[in-house]
Structure 1
């Protein structure tokens, strides 16, 4: 499992075919532990980028005892106070506890196997859960967002048996296959920063039209 006293983290982001990079990452220490957040603004506007930046900043300032769901609710209150209409999706990691809204993802990595911890809150996932076949467009239509979520709609999961947690925006995980992500994480003789940089660079090279951001938290 992840241990705060030996934890390191690295992040990288690349702008896709958008006017704004509306992805944002936050990290802050609370006592002996860390809080991490990755937010992806909805739309291609300065308000989407601002919503992601504010949400990630507020989320990581939430005391760890309050938990990641409260971090998301605190970020929601911040968006409502802005009155811009800006919205985003977000994932928050506090130790082994992970909460999310929308289609950002968290993966667990034990050095050999990649496990998707979150489930996308999208129209495509809704159709699949009801034994229906979604259209490709449905993969990009979220059914939950930070501005509109209710507490009972916020996803929550505990990461078990992980030595690393990877957070990604959809520019990464909707472009790269799980096997390719796993292969990049498994590269030997490379630093964590090199691996997250390779993830986002590869996504852009392979045609990601959205912004691509990754954050890797791992034990030293």
Structure 2
């Protein structure tokens, strides 16, 4: 668990990751860098060791970018280029890729940037609100009104992504970003789709209400996802501001 404090706010964070019951290795990566005000989760894809290579490259590239004074969106865009460069250099496999969702906190402001379907939520102690928007085929159908949001959770194409870091397209990637003001005592949840595939938003909120401490919440969320099937790697990062 990591913690950072300032004159007005303290931030406590914890993460948990698990391979799950089906996959034979974990392709997720996550990192907490409170000295940079940075927390992130990356969900690798590519199988046969390539996924974890891609997600690890994302985590390192974003950290290095911010450590060098760069902006979050620029650092994530650089991670896309780094994955393709890694493939060209023989690190990982062709087509390997990763999602990412990252949180940066500075003063009373927060910034979230992401690519893919790893998600960011905000929890005020009672209500859970999704902040990110999945870059997926099914989410596009929902936004077009072709299917309802209740159908999206069980749609056979729900894992088809429309935007990833790396992957088969070497062209530029569009990083989505939102910013906001911290409201007070609240928590942010960053997670791979191994959590949201198994647990509804209501189920996630129930766990967060019962486990107000980040380390307890992170462990309980992953355990609940495993209990519900654990069909994918599952990673969560809980960041609480007081």
Is TM-score (shorter-chain normalized) higher than 0.5? yes
Partner in structure 1 of residue 146 of structure 2: 132
2:161 matches 1:142 = yes
Contact 2:40 2:59 in 1 (8 A): yes
Q: 4+ residue runs of structure 1 moved beyond 4 angstroms? A: none
2:79 matches 1:75 = yes
What's the secondary structure of 2:78's corresponding residue?
Answer: helix
Partner in structure 2 of residue 107 of structure 1: 121
Partner in structure 1 of residue 41 of structure 2: 38
1:77 shift after superposition: 2.4
Q: Structure 2 vs 1, CA of residues 145 and 4 (structure 1 numbering), >3 Å: closer, same or farther?
A: farther
1:169 shift after superposition: 0.4
Contact 2:194 2:225 in 1 (8 A): yes
What's the secondary structure of 2:37's corresponding residue?
Answer: strand
What's the secondary structure of 2:239's corresponding residue?
Answer: strand
What's the secondary structure of 1:71's corresponding residue?
Answer: helix
* Counterparts of residues 157-172 of structure 1 (less than 5 Å): 157-160=178-181, 161=183, 163-172=186-195
Q: How far apart, CA to CA, are the structure 2 residues paired with 1:97 and 1:213?
A: 20
The alignment's TM-score, normalised by the length of structure 1, stands at: 0.89
What's the secondary structure of 1:91's corresponding residue?
Answer: strand
Q: How far apart, CA to CA, are the structure 1 residues paired with 2:116 and 2:99?
A: 5
* Counterparts of residues 172-191 of structure 1 (less than 5 Å): 172-187=195-210, 191=213
1:63 shift after superposition: 2.1
Unmatched 5+ residue regions in structure 2?
A: 88-92
1:60 shift after superposition: 2.1
Partner in structure 1 of residue 90 of structure 2: none
What's the secondary structure of 1:138's corresponding residue?
Answer: coil
Contact 2:98 2:165 in 1 (8 A): yes
2:101 to 72, 75, 91: 91
1:208 shift after superposition: 2.9
What's the secondary structure of 1:21's corresponding residue?
Answer: coil
1:178 shift after superposition: 0.7
Paired positions, count = 214
What's the secondary structure of 1:10's corresponding residue?
Answer: strand
Unmatched 5+ residue regions in structure 1?
A: none
Partner in structure 1 of residue 51 of structure 2: 48
What's the secondary structure of 1:209's corresponding residue?
Answer: coil
> Which protein has the larger Cα radius of gyration, Structure 1 or Structure 2?
2
Contact 1:107 1:165 in 2 (8 A): yes
1:150 shift after superposition: 3.1
Q: How far apart, CA to CA, are the structure 1 residues paired with 2:224 and 2:124?
A: 22
